[in-house]
Amino acid sequence: MKYSDLVEVYERLGRTSKRLEKTGHLSDFLKNVHADDVEEVVLLLQGRIFPAWDEREIGIASQLMVKAISIASGADAHAVTKEWKRTGDLGTVAENLIKGKKQHTLASSELTVKKVFSNIRKLAEVSGEGSVDRKLQLIAELLTSSSGIEARYVARTILGDLRVGVGEGALRDAIVWANFMRVTDEMSKEKREDYNSFIDAVQEAYDLTNDFAVVAKIAKEKGVQGLKSVQIKQGKPIKVMLALKADSATEAFETVGRPAQVEFKYDGFRMEINKDEKGQVVIFTRRLENVTGQFPDVVEYAKEHVKAKSFILDAEAVGYDKKTMKYLPFQNISQRIKRKYDIEKTAEQLPVEVNVFDVLAYNGKNLINEPFRKRREIVERIVDNVRRKIRPSQAIVTDKEEKIEDFFRESREKGNEGLMIKNLEAPYKPGARVGHMLKFKGVAENLDLAIIGAEWGEGKRSKWLSSYDLACSSHGKLMEIGKASTGLKEKPEEGLSFEEITKLLKPLITEEHGKHVKVKPKIVIEVGYEEIQKSPSYSSGYALRFPRVIRNRSSEKGVSDINTLKDVERLYEQQRKQKA
Q: Is 389 found in the same domain as 500?
A: no
Q: Is 60 exceeded by the pLDDT of residue 579?
A: no
Strands (E), 336-410: 352-362, 365-366, 390-392, 395-398
Q: What is the pLDDT of residue 578?
A: 63
Q: For residue 214, is it within any domain?
A: no
Q: For residue 3, is it within any domain?
A: no
Q: Is 505 found in the same domain as 382?
A: no
Q: Is 60 exceeded by the pLDDT of residue 515?
A: yes
Partnered with residue 533 across adjacent β-strands are: 543
For CA atoms 512, 518, 522, 527, the dihedral sign is: positive
Hey, which residues are catalytic here? Answer: 265
Q: Is 557 found in the same domain as 465?
A: yes
Q: What is the pLDDT of residue 444?
A: 66
Question: What is the three-class DSSP state of 386?
Answer: strand
Q: Is 411 found in the same domain as 297?
A: yes
Q: What is the pLDDT of residue 436?
A: 93
CATH code of the domain covering residue 406: 3.30.470.30
Give how far Cα 349 sits from Cα of 19, 49, 305, 335, 493, Å: 47, 36, 22, 11, 15
Instruction: Please give the Cα distance from 352 to 521 (Å, whole number).
Output: 30
Q: For residue 84, is it within any domain?
A: yes
* Cα 6 to the center of its chain, rounded Å: 25
Q: Which residue has the higher pLDDT, 287 or 95?
A: 95
CATH code of the domain covering residue 528: 2.40.50.140
CA angle, residues 186, 191, 196, in degrees to nearest 5: 105
Give one DSSP letter per residue of 288-315, joined into a string. Answer: --B-GGG-HHHHHHHHHHB--SSEEEEE
Q: Give the number of other Cβ atoms within 10 Å of residue 383's Cβ.
A: 26
Q: For residue 504, is it within any domain?
A: yes
Torsion of CA 259, 260, 264, 269, to 10 degrees: 180
Taking phi over 0 as left and psi of -120 to 50 as alpha, with beta for the rest, 288 belongs to left
Top mean pLDDT of 43-47, 95-99, 164-168, 472-476 is at 43-47
* Overall domain count for the chain: 3
Per residue in 448-492, pLDDT tens? Answer: 999 999 999 988 888 999 999 999 999 889 999 999 999 999 888
Instruction: Pick the last residue of a domain from 130, 159, 188.
Output: 159
Judged by average pLDDT, the poorest of 165-169, 182-186, 213-217, 443-447 is: 182-186
What mean pLDDT comes out for the span 68-82? 93
> Per-residue confidence at 187, pLDDT binned at 50, 70, 90?
confident
Q: Is 468 found in the same domain as 415?
A: no
Residues 6+ apart with CB under 8 A from 398: 259, 260, 262, 404, 407
Asked if 236 and 215 count as a contact pair (C-beta separation under 8 A), the reply is no
DSSP class of residue 555?
Answer: T
Give how far Cα 281 sits from Cα of 1, 273, 296, Å: 38, 7, 10
CATH code of the domain covering residue 152: 1.10.3260.10
Q: Is 315 found in the same domain as 419?
A: yes
Per residue in 40-70, pLDDT tens? Answer: 999 999 999 999 888 888 989 999 999 999 9
Q: What is the pLDDT of residue 102?
A: 47
Q: Is 357 found in the same domain as 286?
A: yes
CA angle, residues 243, 247, 250, in degrees to nearest 5: 100
Q: For residue 208, is it within any domain?
A: no
Per residue in 231-273, pLDDT tens? Answer: 888 788 898 999 998 888 999 999 999 999 999 999 999 999 9
Instruction: Please give the Cα distance from 78 to 12 (Å, whole number).
Output: 33
* Cα 183 to the center of its chain, rounded Å: 28
Q: For residue 556, is it within any domain?
A: yes
Asked if 215 and 178 count as a contact pair (C-beta separation under 8 A), the reply is no
Instruction: Pick the last residue of a domain from 159, 177, 207.
Output: 159
Asked if 360 and 284 count as a contact pair (C-beta separation under 8 A), the reply is no
Instruction: Please give the Cα distance from 319 to 353 (Å, whole number).
Output: 6
Asked if 13 and 166 count as a contact pair (C-beta separation under 8 A), the reply is yes
Strands 465-474 and 477-484: antiparallel
Q: Is 434 found in the same domain as 301?
A: yes
Q: For residue 308, is it within any domain?
A: yes
Q: What is the pLDDT of residue 236?
A: 85
For CA atoms 317, 320, 322, 325, the dihedral sign is: negative
Prior bond of 237 cis (ω within 30°): no
Question: What is the three-class DSSP state of 383?
Answer: strand
Q: For residue 144, is it within any domain?
A: yes
Strands (E), 387-522: 390-392, 395-398, 418-423, 433-440, 447-456, 465-474, 477-484, 509-513, 516-519
Q: Give the number of other Cβ atoms within 10 Å of residue 168's Cβ.
A: 15
Q: Is 298 found in the same domain as 313?
A: yes
Q: Is 90 exceeded by the pLDDT of residue 217?
A: yes
Asked if 300 and 339 count as a contact pair (C-beta separation under 8 A), the reply is no
Q: Is 323 found in the same domain as 286?
A: yes
Q: Is 482 found in the same domain as 556?
A: yes
Taking phi over 0 as left and psi of -120 to 50 as alpha, with beta for the rest, 128 belongs to left
Q: Is 268 found in the same domain as 144?
A: no
Q: Is 50 exceeded by the pLDDT of residue 106?
A: no
> Per-residue confidence at 107, pLDDT binned at 50, 70, 90?
very low
What mean pLDDT comes out for the span 541-561? 91
What mean pLDDT comes out for the span 316-344? 86
Instruction: Pick the last residue of a domain from 93, 124, 159.
Output: 159
Query: Domain range for residue 369?
Result: 251-440
Helix axes 77-87, 90-100, angle to 10 degrees: 130
Rounded to the nearest integer, the mean pLDDT of the chain is: 91
